[in-house]
Chain A
Amino acid sequence: MWSEKYRPQNISDMVGNEESRSSIMEWFAKWKKGTKPLLLIGPPGIGKTTIAYLVAKQFGYDLIGLNASDVRSKSRINEILAPVLGNTTILGTPMIFVDEVDGIHGRGDYGGAEALIQILKDPTVPIVLAANSDVSDKMKSIKKVVKIISFKPIPPRLLRVYLENILKKENATLSPGSLIKVIDKSRGDIRSMINLTQSLVTGFNPQTEKSFETINVEDGINAFFKANSVEEARGVLYAMQIDPRQKIDAFYSSIITSNLDKNTLAKYLEIISRSDILFGKIMKTQNWRLLRYLNETLIELYQNDDRIRYSKYNLSWPLLNRIRWDGRKIKSLSSLMAHKLHLSSSSFSTIGLPFVLFCIKNKKLELELEETFGEIIEKEMELIK
């Protein structure tokens, strides 16, 4: 991966954010027990993690790295950090780096953030934190006990110099049009710029202006199943730069409606199900970096299958209409009656409504309801056998 291969080896190799970098150096140079920890804030891919590792190297610290997934519970934090904070002679000269600190979540154990703050208040070794954003409540309490250094997106002209340098080393070229688009698309995120360049340059498609133009959902799904090789399908998948939720749903709808035999259908839906789990986990933990694995799960769907065509909807029209019109009315009827019968709406429509309708149909029960419900009650009564 180029973004790893070209991760700067020296602080002087880095680009952009000169002032922030020199503030970090200064902080390290002046560090003594009790100095407020550092919090680096800035968008992804601009060198927060890189500089932490490089500075540690330069000042001769042994960096103990943690990321959000380690920092979830108090016991885990103490387990990892207690030896560091206590007797420092065994471990040389340690420092702590907590990446993605904004990813510490309220889930599971609230003690995680608190335990961290306790450590931040009384630092015995240098502590550096990194975060993409500082707006959450959790960050507010962390911000009180640290010194903040902000990082900005890298300006296009620096990105260009950096990118051209890499291309030269790789003996690769990118058309001027593509170069500009790559830089523009990366919005100051060096890592994503390098990744995108690598996929273009080493890509399987001949490099054209089109090869990384975004493909719309419909063309993407159709091209995916028409592709002649898995590499081609992967290229299509990566080019579908749409919201991941939309991507999963588009595959789901298309597969559901393509009249597949039950074995193939089950096989495909299992893969979609796993993609959805991955997305669910990303949403719950806000670990967006896991998104990189989504396309690799979806690629398992690939086989040249000309039965599959893109479809936006995955239900028959009558059912879609029933959801839209009847569903809404039944929902408001249920929530009204459920309350009177001390049930949840779900329970009422399952074990209450059918009996109510049956009694009305047999003219043994009258409901005093608003007239607006008349129509739906008539309609549902008709459906009872």
Chain B
Amino acid sequence: MLSTGMWVEKYRPQKLSEIVNQTEIIGSLEELIKNPADMPHLLFSGSAGVGKTTAALCLARQVLGENVKDYTLELNASDERGIGMVREKVKKFTRFAGMADAPFKLIILDEADEMTNDAQTALRRIIEDTAKFCRFILIANNISKIIDPIQSRCATFKFTSVPEEDVIARLAEITKKEKVKADKKGLKEIYDYSEGDLRHAINLLQATASLGEVSQENVKASAGLAKTSDVDLVLKMALDGKITDAREKMIELIKVYGMSESDFLKYLNSSVFKSKHEHLSKILEVIAKYDYRILVGANPEIQLSALLAELGNIE
């Protein structure tokens, strides 16, 4: 079974109290669920891999007990582009009868900041219309992209990135349970690559461990696996003026691997910062221009191709 095969799932905390770091948030959440009927809608914000989704899943399990499967709907806004799909799924989900012992039905909407303003406005209505028997947990990387009316309907929790010692301690705990040899330098190297993203760290740990021991050398060998490295490559090729190659690589990422355009731009942004290029601000200006154009344009592929071509002309 996959869920036990992948360490990120195998070692995903099952209870709020097991979550690494985030002690204040966990404390408040545990208070809130003592009286589930009074629980407000929740909005979790914070960077990737710090425990937002895990907290939502733990909370669901603790409040809904054995009904958790039937009474939780998990959606990812990045997959369900249109609000129509969300509305249909939420409607269907809220419609089925039988309120066993559960205080409410729970809808976890991940990457909610990927929704357009229009979709969020519609979501606000859905939240209102179903408030009697549903609670929402919205999860977002960037809270400023969530419209105010939704923010005001939710209790907001800001997750902070996990400090180095906590990441390393967690990784060490896993290597011990998996009986994998790991040295300090190797674990430190993993932390440096993952930048406080615990999910990335654990994935990298597992990949490294598949080579044998977790040493600095093996970490380096596995670190470039993620497709974000391909985005680094696209940036490099574009800046070198190899527009055709850069474009084909980018289209491969988006159309073969299904990377979303907004994810591509997100990774491209961090690639730029990592590159420490001498024309950093010029590059970012060009990216910003086309990021906006994608929002108003009709065909993202055209906009992204034009972006790469313009990057190739920065001197």
Within 8 A of A (CB), among B238-285: 241, 243-244, 247-248, 251-253, 255-260, 263, 267
Q: Is the pair A365, B255 in contact by a Cβ cutoff of 8 Å?
A: no
Residues in chain A near residue B258, CB distance under 8 A: 327, 330-331, 334, 345-346, 349
**Residue of A with least CB distance to B209:** A364
Distance A343 CA – B79 CA, assembled complex (angstroms): 9
Residues in chain B near residue A249, CB distance under 8 A: 299, 302
Q: Is the pair B259, A273 in contact by a Cβ cutoff of 8 Å?
A: no
Residues in chain A near residue B296, CB distance under 8 A: 277, 280-281, 284
Pick the interface stretch among A41-49, A68-76, A261-269: A261-269
- CB B144 to nearest CB in A, in angstroms, measures 19
Within 8 A of B (CB), among A277-293: 277, 279-281, 283-284
Residues in chain B near residue A354, CB distance under 8 A: 225-227
Q: Is the pair A340, B3 in contact by a Cβ cutoff of 8 Å?
A: yes
Residues in chain A near residue B252, CB distance under 8 A: 319, 322-323
Q: Is the pair A351, B256 in contact by a Cβ cutoff of 8 Å?
A: no
Name the contact of A342 in the complex, choosing from B74, B210, B257, B302 (C-beta under 8 A): B74
Q: Is the pair B2, A337 in contact by a Cβ cutoff of 8 Å?
A: yes
Interface of A is mostly: helix
- CB A242 to nearest CB in B, in angstroms, measures 16
Chain B residues bordering chain A, tally (CB within 8 A): 62
Interface of B is mostly: helix
Pick the interface stretch among B85-93, B166-174, B304-312: B304-312
Residues in chain B near residue A326, CB distance under 8 A: 256
Q: Is the pair B310, A280 in contact by a Cβ cutoff of 8 Å?
A: no
Q: Can you list 30 A-B contacts with CB-CB less than 8 angstroms, sorted by A residue number? A: A256-B247, A265-B309, A266-B310, A266-B312, A270-B310, A273-B302, A276-B298, A279-B298, A280-B299, A315-B251, A319-B248, A322-B256, A323-B252, A327-B258, A330-B256, A331-B258, A334-B257, A334-B258, A335-B79, A340-B3, A341-B3, A344-B76, A347-B263, A350-B259, A354-B226, A355-B203, A355-B207, A358-B210, A361-B210, A367-B2
Residues on B facing A (Cβ under 8 Å): 1-3, 5-6, 8-9, 53, 57, 74, 76, 78-79, 110-111, 114, 118, 121, 199-200, 203-204, 206-207, 209-211, 222, 225-228, 241, 243-244, 247-248, 251-253, 255-260, 263, 267, 290, 293, 296-299, 302-303, 305-306, 309-310, 312-313
